Amino acid sequence: MMTLLKSAKIIDQSSPFHNKTVDILIENGIIKEISPSISSSENYKEYNFENLHVSQGWFDSSVCFGEPGFEERETISNGLKTAAKSGFTAVAVNPKTNPVVDNKSAVEYILNKACGSATKIYPIGSLTKNSEGKDIAELFDMQNSGAVAFGDYNKALNNANLLKICLQYAQNFNALVLSYPQDNSIAGLGIVNEEVNSTKLGLKGIPTLAEEMQIARDLFLLEYTGGKLHIPTISTAKSVKLIKEAKQKGLDVTCSVTAHHLTLTDDELKSFDTNTKVLPPLRTSKDIKALIKGVENGTIDMITSDHNPIDIEHKKVEYSNAKNGTIGLESLFGATNTVLATETIVNALTTNAKNRFNIKQTPVNIGEQADLTLFNPEGENLFLKENIFSTSKNAIYLNKPTKGTVYGVIANNKIEL
């Protein structure tokens, strides 16, 4: 079947049609024609969306699906459908599973379960066996089986020498190493940002120092070893400064920030809503300003949802006992679109992120495979429960204002709209 998108404004700096409003004709998953007007034929499936914008498919560098082991939270199948409806044609999935993805069989299992979806899955292998931070996992074998990077999700590597060895070893096959930024000896038993609100509410705090010390340590190690380092989900103003200085030195380092850290402060804690319990914790307006500036000037390379489904049994409990995590695929664009320019968001979800994780670029151009995200950047909305496609409903953005609408994706020779 031929698919015709009418009056689509293309947002893709790698495309010769960037910022032009055109019709796009797709046949068997390939873009056949792009022109100001294409006449519809009887066998064309035509789509007319309000204020339609099209970019190359978005990529989220940090999502969790429960399968295997936590299928009650999210299966791979439903997770990929959620990603597609949220505008993502590719996701990197963390090894937060049971068993942990620390060997090639586990990588191959995830890839096989994802066959036939509009959204492609890219497994992140565990950096250490069982994500315990003691011994290096089978990195080379996992990369040969399809893993795109290696890290222990939301677990800091306390052993500096082990990270040094990982960075040295990974260079032999040009692998990307992820290091979660938290010094556990400083964070202690903290559960929220250490600031005025934590004191007022009687909640144990995690100082920004915990993140910044770990980043400083990791950057020193990277300077010593060489290699490729990615620091996921930074959250403080000083973290942005440290990474900017490292890049100016020529170190091969990238970082990401979550949509909720770009838009929400620790004032959210006053509700004691356990959906606000995330790691790293929500910080202050000063941090938000620095993070937004970091995305705008390229210090922060990519935006992520850090999508982390948690079942109700582990969220509808006392705040101190609740598990960390929020779902975020469905709300990422609408949330970030309230504080960033649309083109900035698209760049942070496409070119920058894909390059780092070695994922093929697919510009919106004639002859290219259709790997498209369809959206409308205008319009004020509230993020409601009916906007959630995930099995788990632990959404930090529930009942909060968003801007814009995601229509879905055309990718992998499939349509999810």
Query: H/E element holding 216?
Result: helix 208-225
Instruction: Name the pairing type of β-strands 228-231 and 205-206.
Output: unpaired
Q: What is the spatial distance between Cα 84 and Cα 45, in angstroms, rounded to a whole number?
A: 19
**Which three-class secondary structure string do you get for 392-410?**
CCCECCCCCEEEEEEEEEE
What is the residue type of 108?
Answer: E
| DSSP one-letter string for 219-240 | HHHHHHH-SEEEE-----HHHH
Helix, strand, coil distribution of the chain in percent, nearest 5: 35, 25, 40
The structure tokens 């101190």 sit at 320
Q: What is the spatial distance between Cα 298 and Cα 242, in angstroms, rounded to a whole number?
A: 14
Sign of CA dihedral 372, 377, 379, 382: positive
Residue whose C-alpha is closest to residue 256's, from 201, 179, 315: 179
How many Cα atoms are found within 13 Å in the side-chain-facing hemisphere of 180? Answer: 23
Burial 151-161 (b: 16+ CB within 10 A, else e): bbbbbbbeeee
Catalytic residue among 267, 306, 311, 371: 306
Rounded to 10°, the helix 104-113/76-85 angle is: 60
Angle formed at CA 143 by CA 94 and CA 160, multiple of 5 degrees: 65
| 295 and 223 Cβ atoms separated by less than 8 Å | no
- Cis status of the peptide bond prior to 280, with omega within 30 of 0: yes
266 is catalytic: no
How many Cα atoms are found within 13 Å in the side-chain-facing hemisphere of 309? Answer: 28
Catalytic positions: 306
